[in-house]
Chain A
Amino acid sequence: MEPCPVIIGVGRTKFGEHYETEPEKLVLEAGLMAETSAGIERKDLDACYLSDYFLQITNKIGIEEGFLSEWLELHIPMEKSRSFSSALLNACHAIQSGKYGTVFVGGVEKMTDRWDKIRDDLMLLEDPWSYYAGCTPEANHELMLREYIKKHGISGKSLDTFYTALAQIAVKNYGHALKNEYAHNPHGATSVDKVLKVRSEEHKPLGRYDFAPISDGATALILASPEVAKEHSEQPVCVVGSSSATDYVTFPSREDRTGFVASRIAMKKALETAKIKMDDVQIAEVYDQSTLLEMVSLEDLGFTKKGKSWLDIYNSCEDYKGYYEVDGRRLFVNMNGGLKADGNPLGATGGAQVFEVVKQLNDEAGERQVDADLRFGCVLELEGFGTKAYVHLLRRGLA
């Protein structure tokens, strides 16, 4: 078995609006926390992998790496990519190749600085052709919902159950976020009725409480080789599988529009690399830009059957015990509140997902700590509307 890269420390800022703080300072704050928890100094770093989607546009910032170099007085290699997961994937490759021993992975986004234009930016980022045709960041979710209902023939009473299940996801995630001191939006809908009421007021299949907010924030982690990890870390978490896949940029042109092919492929490959089975995964942070995406992601990752996810969710949430129950198996999903309630500062989001799984695996999640002997966790991060999918599989302990 190849040596796995090891996460030896994680850090993050609170997600929300940070109008007093420059983006580069947010990433320093998260970075300092990660370094402290890893017990390393910045001089120990061999390289940095950073992620942000569009700081150049939202913040008129120059070369992000330069700011970090200036703040840290470092001249080591620094690379920038879009999502936190893509930065992490590249960092993993570098560690696995033996090139570096200790690497900093940091993500940041400052979206509220461009409040007035952010939805146009988000849509152009997602797919310019859909934007030209009038698409909004929410519309593709609603189209996928229509496709899903049609393909699986959900109607009548089942349709009510389906919509209730989506509302239950929102309530569940807000509930989780109440125990998350870093969450952007913990005080959302406390009841299914509230979610349904807002939808009906807005005349929408998915309402305000079904979508993730627009956030600022930063996240970071320290990734190390097993040798370095042995020296530094008492609570190492191994990245046993990491994979990504890509799909067409224009959602309508995809063959299957009831889920994400990229997620399915990425999960399959990640499981192969990790040499574990889907059943081994007990906790998952999935990319719930909307409640619908949490639902379809469970199917894409293989946790639930195609077209049946909503039933499992509904049955688990009628009397929610802190996990989804699928075929008698417990699955803890989005324990930090998900993107929906924890927040979604694009370039930093994946870092918060990893943060949560690492904390849970290490039994350090405080109030949110799940009542289970966790060994394997999974993080699914998307770019665009399923144009890219990244899956990271994490394991507690070095072996």
Chain B
Amino acid sequence: MSSEPIERRVSYIGDRLRGSRCGVCGKEYFRPRDYCGDCGRKSFDKMEGVDFFYEKGKLEVCTVVTEPTNRFTKLGSYLYGVVSFHDGKVRVPGRLTDRILSEGDMDLSNFEGRDVVPRFRKRYAVSQSDIIPTISLAFTFADEYYPHQDYKVSKPRKEYETPGIVGYGVYVSKFRIKEGAMERSLPFLDEDAITAAVEAGKLSLIHSGVDQSLVGKVYVGSESNPYAVKPIATKVAQTLKLGEEEKMDGVQGVDAIDTEFACKAATSMFKDATALAYYPKAPTPYTMVIGTDNSQAAPREEPGGELDFFVGYGGSAFIFGKHDVIAEVEGWYSCTSDTPDFWRRDLEPYPRHGGRFTGEPAYFKHIAKAGIKLMEKLNLQPGDVDYFISHQPNIPYPVRVAEALGFKEEQYLPGLQVAKFGNTYSGSSPIGLAAVLDRAKPGERIVIVGYGSGAGSDAYSFVTTGQIGEKRRRQKFTVQHQIENKHVEYVKYETYRRFKLGL
């Protein structure tokens, strides 16, 4: 069984790669400490907290581990080595992740000396009832799928009357399965909904340039939280240091909460995030909304297995606020009915899909209703809208609903990403929104309608601002980058099932 105090201490340090720098001599350490080893007592009170979470490291030397210890056995063979930061000032042990080793990989000189990026991952396998251990002593090569990006906080230049999106990030892993017209993303063995949430949140901070300590609330929407009870949002808040850090107590001054409503657990919170910026007595400067899922599906031969053809893996994060907005929220409309089209009972591993309600009375009815009502409210015609995005459980549904609402291909295709990533559940329509924001010009109108089984829809209208272009330069890891990347790795069905199950 896990020791909660050990897990708490190890992940507090390890998830963020926290350390110290001596204010007297500048020596740096992995793992926080009160004194410098060289300077001793005179460094007391002069040790500065540092972390290596956003840093670029270098793989000094490495070896191939072919016989891991018990808890790492599921990873098979992997590269393990010495990683240095800050030109060798600090060195840590590290495992290279996102890599299926082949015979050709055995020439270690192909890897040594290359830049690496820390990745937040599950640490190792534990039993089903244990706390899930995590760590960022996992790395990928900076010249491959996932580039190194600085997190630079920028001083806000402009305050807007209407709040909106100030930054966003999308994360899907480099692993895909390709079947017919569909490519779908899947997690590496050490990834899950929690790691995708942290990764997406990290990318949204990088893109927005928002000071992490000004994020007052974080929502994490998911239907594949590996815990029945224990929020993902706490991991996100602590690892990303959201809100004012109360270092002495090891807490963050932020409200963090998980939400669940099938695939609309994140889109539902966009309006809450928008509204929080307004509250006059205690305005929240920034709010982060994450949608993350290792979308669940039973094996194909089992009940519910039909979903296995469509599910993806990934996360999206949007930061809302009133400063340096890239897309203002113009309005919203939500509708709900108790329609049992898709469900998962407690203790069941996979969701069920009755089939009776799926299309017409569930998906189409709610999305169409929300879309039409929103446009009525805002007095919009389809021609006034530049981009339309809806929830994307497969390819035909979003096409059909877009056309039913009067939209043309050039309006709905840019946001249609399901053929590349699969249905990323809570991340599905938000990833479509991100793909559109990646290309939209200032002054364009985007309508997005999320959908969650059970059932309900949230429709929003965004209008992009003049700042959308300048922020785009901050993000290399765009949706397009994750689609058209020569490091994307395709796997067979058996590998896909194994990776989805994970450590």
Contacts and interface: CB of A to CB of B under 8 A. Distances in A.
Contacts of B81: 143, 146
A142 B70 contact: no
Interface string A137-178: 011001101110010000000000000000000000000000
A371 B112 CA distance: 46
Interface in A218-258: 250-253, 257
8 contacts: A132-B135, A134-B137, A135-B93, A136-B65, A143-B63, A146-B62, A146-B112, A204-B64
Contacts of B135: 132-133
B333 interface: no
A316 interface: no
Given A132-B10, A146-B62, A257-B82, A123 B93 contact: no
B69 A119 contact: yes
B63 A205 contact: yes
A99 to B, nearest CB: 34
> Which interface class (under 10, 10 to 19, 20 to 34, 35 or more) fits B?
35 or more
A139 B65 contact: yes
A147 B88 CA distance: 14
Query: Do most interface residues of chain A lie in helix, strand or loop, or is the interface mixed?
Result: helix
B14 interface: yes
A193 interface: no
Given A132-B14, A135-B93, A257-B82, A120 B69 contact: yes
Contact of A136 (B14, B69, B92, B123): B69
A117 B73 CA distance: 12
B92 A139 contact: no
A147 B66 contact: no
B94 interface: yes
A155 B123 CA distance: 35
A116 interface: yes
A209 B339 CA distance: 65
A150 B14 contact: no
B220 to A, nearest CB: 24
Contacts of A127: 93
A163 to B, nearest CB: 14
A136 B68 contact: yes
B108 interface: yes
Given A252-B83, A257-B82, A133 B137 contact: yes
Contact of B92 (A128, A146, A252): A252
Nearest to A205: B63
Interface string B66-93: 1111111001001011110000001111
Contacts of B71: 120
A130 interface: yes
Contacts of A138: 65, 67
Interface string A180-194: 000000000000000
B80 A139 contact: yes
Interface in B120-148: 123-124, 133, 135, 137-138
A134 B72 contact: yes
B95 interface: yes
A116 B70 contact: yes
B270 interface: no
A119 B72 CA distance: 11
B106 A203 contact: yes
A135 B95 CA distance: 8
Contacts of A320: none
Contact of A252 (B72, B82, B138): B82
Contact of A131 (B69, B92, B103, B108): B69
A73 interface: no
A129 interface: yes
Interface string B285-318: 0000000000000000000000000000000000
A202 interface: yes
Nearest to B61: A146
B57 to A, nearest CB: 11
A138 B64 CA distance: 10
B112 A134 contact: no
B53 interface: no
Interface string A199-210: 000111100000
Nearest to A155: B109
B30 interface: yes
B61 A130 contact: no
A133 B92 contact: yes
B92 A253 contact: yes
A147 B63 CA distance: 11
A6 B80 CA distance: 45
A129 B69 contact: no
Given A142-B63, A146-B108, 13 more contacts: A120-B69, A133-B80, A134-B65, A134-B78, A134-B124, A135-B65, A139-B80, A143-B80, A145-B63, A146-B81, A147-B61, A150-B61, A203-B103
What are the nearest 5 A-B pairs in CB distance?
Answer: A134-B95, A142-B63, A146-B61, A133-B93, A133-B137
A204 B62 CA distance: 12
A203 B106 CA distance: 7
A128 B124 CA distance: 13
B66 A134 contact: no
Interface in A105-129: 116-117, 119-120, 123, 127-129
A133 B69 contact: no
Contacts of B133: 132
A156 to B, nearest CB: 13
A377 to B, nearest CB: 34
A115 to B, nearest CB: 11
Interface in A72-123: 116-117, 119-120, 123
A119 B65 CA distance: 13
A135 B80 contact: yes
A228 to B, nearest CB: 43
A139 B66 CA distance: 10
B99 to A, nearest CB: 12
A196 to B, nearest CB: 15
Contacts of B30: 253
B63 A139 contact: yes
A204 B108 CA distance: 11
Given A132-B14, A133-B137, A143-B81, A204 B66 contact: yes
Contacts of B10: 128, 132
Contacts of B31: 129
Interface string B347-367: 000000000000000000000
A145 B112 CA distance: 13
B7 to A, nearest CB: 11
Contacts of B63: 139, 142-143, 145-146, 205
Contacts of A250: 92-93
A135 B96 CA distance: 11
B64 A203 contact: yes
A263 to B, nearest CB: 20
A203 B108 contact: no
